[in-house]
Amino acid sequence: MKNGTLSLKLTILLCFITGCSFMNEQQEIYKPASSLQGQPIGGGQDLSNRMLIIATGDMSGVYFSLGQRLSAMYEKYNGAISGTQVTQASIENTELVSQHRAEIGFTTVDVLELPYTDDSRLRVLTTLYSNYVQLVTTKQHDIDSLDDLAGKRVSVGTSGSGTRLIAERILLESDLQPEQLNLSYLSFSQAAEALQNGSIDAAFFSSGIPNNEIAYTSEQTELSIIPIPNEIIDRLQKQYGVYTQNEIPIDTYKGMNKGVQTISIKNVLITYDEMSDKHAYNLVKTLYEHLPELQATHPAASDISMSVAAEQVPLEIHSGAMKYFTEHGLKKK
């Protein structure tokens, strides 16, 4: 890493500390069926008449679509009064769950190891699928590598998102100097629109594939996806231990003529430590007994498998969830 990036690292750390304390008091809660009334989840045999809020992310992202489906499943099979909350995604979701402002939430595993994440109050219900870092630009900008981002307008995702976390970690490991970066902090939908209208030159997306906004934009304009270099992936893996070298397949988006090397990160479903074992057990049981319904919601969910549900988790698995996995012959690895 270049010495000039030290000040960028300090600036980014400060932004994250302040950004992570931001909570949008006007977040919308989406209900698939009944009104959101009832008691917070505690003891009992099932989830009947219990309020279950699922913290998701941008409405265009995979978290939101899977959260909507899970909400419907928990109502259908568990009698829960359930809804999804639109958030800035991973970092904000961990705050909401640790503060009991949501019962479960989606997050990437790198967020669970941040110094300001109160992991003592969090538990993992299950490992899910992987997010792929997708650094997207339009053909007209002639951006072929990270170095070409010098002087360009680049979105790194919203405050409170896993996208911003991994994007800024990648930029810190690049040869770019702080004064060369012109960063903005847009949601998936905002970034896609900005790419189309030319108000930004490139954008980071960290999501399951295909990302709906990238897919739609690729139908409207010619896109390029910039590879993440081996040396940066290796350094991040050594520093944090939770990232994996991966590839965005050639047929993911219109116009791709080859696979693109990138970095990926596992998603998990989290809850708070005080959720009862019976409820955690039933939540996981419903997810896996009706997994095809969830997988039909988005292609990324096809990677969800109970065989790896307790793997690559840097946080304690909820004892109720672990009881279900143990009954099916699984052990935490």
Q: What is the mean pLDDT of residues 151-164?
A: 95
**Interval 116-140: pLDDT, tens:** 888 889 999 999 999 999 999 998 8
Q: What is the mean pLDDT of residues 10-27?
A: 38
Share of the chain above pLDDT 70, in %: 84
pTM, full prediction: 0.85
Q: What is the mean pLDDT of residues 245-272?
A: 97
Is residue 282 within a helix (H) or strand (E), and if so which, with residue range?
helix 277-289
254: three-class secondary structure by DSSP? coil
Q: What is the mean pLDDT of residues 161-176?
A: 95
Quick count: other Cβ atoms within 10 Å of Cβ 119? 18
Q: Range(s) for CATH 3.40.190.10 in the chain?
A: 29-130+266-327, 131-265
Q: 131-265: which CATH topology?
A: D-Maltodextrin-Binding Protein; domain 2 (3.40.190)
The amino acid occupying position 225 is I
Which of 132, 105, 69, 80 is closest to 292 using CA atoms? 69
Q: What is the mean pLDDT of residues 162-187?
A: 94
Name the pLDDT band for 333 (thresholds 50, 70, 90).
low
Higher pLDDT, 333 or 149: 149
The predicted pLDDT at position 299 comes to: 96
Q: What is the mean pLDDT of residues 12-21?
A: 39
The amino acid occupying position 198 is G
CA–CA gap between residue 68 and residue 63 (Å, rounded):
9
The predicted pLDDT at position 4 comes to: 40
The predicted pLDDT at position 23 comes to: 29
**Interval 217-234: pLDDT, tens:** 999 999 999 999 999 999
**Interval 294-329: pLDDT, tens:** 999 999 999 999 999 998 888 999 999 999 999 999
Rg (C-alpha) for the chain, rounded Å, is 20
Average pLDDT across the chain, whole number: 87
The predicted pLDDT at position 118 comes to: 84
Rounded (5°) CA angle 199-203-207: 140
The predicted pLDDT at position 178 comes to: 79
Q: 29-130+266-327: which CATH topology?
A: D-Maltodextrin-Binding Protein; domain 2 (3.40.190)
Rounded (5°) CA angle 288-292-297: 115
Locate 177 and state its tokens. 């100097």
Quick count: other Cβ atoms within 10 Å of Cβ 22? 13
The predicted pLDDT at position 142 comes to: 87
Name the pLDDT band for 46 (thresholds 50, 70, 90).
low
